[in-house]
Amino acid sequence: MKLSPTTLGPLFAMIAVTLFSLNDVTMKFLSGDYALHQIVLIRSIVGMTVVLLFMAPFQGGLPALKTKRLGAQMARAGLVFFANMTFFLGLAALPLADAVALFFVSPFIITIFSVIFLGETVGPRRWGAVAIGMIGVAVVLRPGTASFQLASLLPIAAAFGYAGLHIMTRYLRNTETTVSMVFYIQLMFIIATCVLGLLMGDGKFASSGNASLEFLFRPWVWPDVGDLPYIAVLGLFASVGGYFISLAYRTGEAALVAPFEYLALPLSIILGMLIFDEWPDAIAWSGIALILASGLYTVWREHQLSKPQRPKREG
C-alpha cells in the first residue's frame, strides 16, 4: 500500500525525532567522561560511513552528493554544527526536559527570521504566540533566582542555529538532494571537530568545574571498550535522523510536519525520568506548557495562512 505525503511526512518526522531524542540521551550519558568534540568526531565518522555506504546508493550514488551551491551547503552545515554543539553543552548541565523545552523557542525565532530574511508578514496573533512562548522560556529559565544557570542560555543559542538551518533548507530544497544535505553536515562536523581537537584536545583549558565547560575542554582519551557502542550509535542516530527530518520536510507540507517535532518534549520528559531520575517541578511544567501551546499555535496559524484560498497573510 502506497502512503500519501500527508502520512509519510509526519511519519518521517516522528522517526527523526525519536532518533534525535535517543541521541540526546546518549550524549548526556557520555558527557561526564569525554570531550564533546571527540564524541562528535567519532559520531560523524560513523555518520559519514552510513551516508556513503547506505544512503547515497539509494539516491543515485556519488553523483547525488554533488552540489550547485557549495557555499550555501557549508553555511547550512555550519548552522547545524553550532546548534548541535551549543545544545549538547547545555545538555551536560541541565535536566533533559528543560534543555529540550528551551530549544523549542526555535519556532518563534523562525517566525522572526521569516520576517527579516524572507519578507513574510506576521500579524498580531502570531506575535502574541511568540510573546507567550517567550514568557514560557522565562519561566523555565527563572532569571534572577538561585535556580538560574548560564547553561540555560545554550539551548536558546542552539535554537537560533536551528532556525537559521530551516531558512537555509527552504533556500536549498529545490536544487539539492536530501542525501547531499546530510553529507555536507557530516563533512562540516569532521572538519570542525578535528580543528577543535588540535586546538584544545590536550585538555589545557580544562578543570573549570563547570559541567558545560568541562565537556568542551576535557582532554581526548581513548574510549572505554564498553562505551564504543554508545559513541558509534550516535553516528547512526544523527545521520539517519538527519536524513528522515530532511525527507519529512521534502515529502510533506512544513505546517503538517512541524507539529510532530514536538514529540521531543514528552519523549525528553519520559527518558529523563527513566534514565536520569529527572522530573520537572511545577514551575518548569508551567513553562514547558506555555512553550508547547504557543509553539503549536504558531505552527497551526502558519498553516492557516498558507492555504491557497487565503489571499493575504494577516495575523
State the DSSP string of 66-83. Answer: --S-HHHHHHHHHHHHHH
pLDDT at 36: 95
pLDDT at 314: 47
Q: State how far the Cα of 80 lies from the Cα of 190, in Å rounded to an integer.
A: 13
C-alpha cell at 285: 511544567
pLDDT at 313: 46
Q: State how far the Cα of 6 lies from the Cα of 293, in Å rounded to an integer.
A: 23
Task: Report whether 75 contacts 188 (CB < 8 A).
Answer: no
Residue with cell string 547515497? 56
pLDDT at 110: 76
List the chain pLDDT tens, one digit each, 315 residues.
677 777 888 899 999 999 999 999 999 999 999 999 999 999 999 989 999 998 899 888 889 899 989 999 999 999 999 999 999 999 999 999 999 999 988 877 877 877 787 677 777 887 888 889 889 988 988 877 767 888 999 999 999 998 888 778 877 877 888 889 889 999 999 999 999 999 999 998 887 778 999 999 999 999 999 998 998 899 889 888 888 887 887 787 766 787 788 889 889 999 999 999 998 888 889 999 998 888 888 767 666 666 655 444 444
Question: What is the distance, to the nearest Å, from the Cα of residue 40 to the centroid of all Cα atoms in its chain?
Answer: 14
Residue with cell string 553523483? 63
Name every residue whose Cβ is closer than 8 Å to that of residue 158 and which is 6 or more positions away in sequence. 82, 83, 84, 86, 87, 90, 103
Closest CA to 163 of 239, 96, 258, 232: 258
pLDDT at 306: 60
User: Which residues in 40-66 are b (16+ Cβ under 10 Å) and which e?
Assistant: bbbbbbbbbebbbeebbeeeeeeebbe
Closest CA to 267 of 13, 7, 64: 13
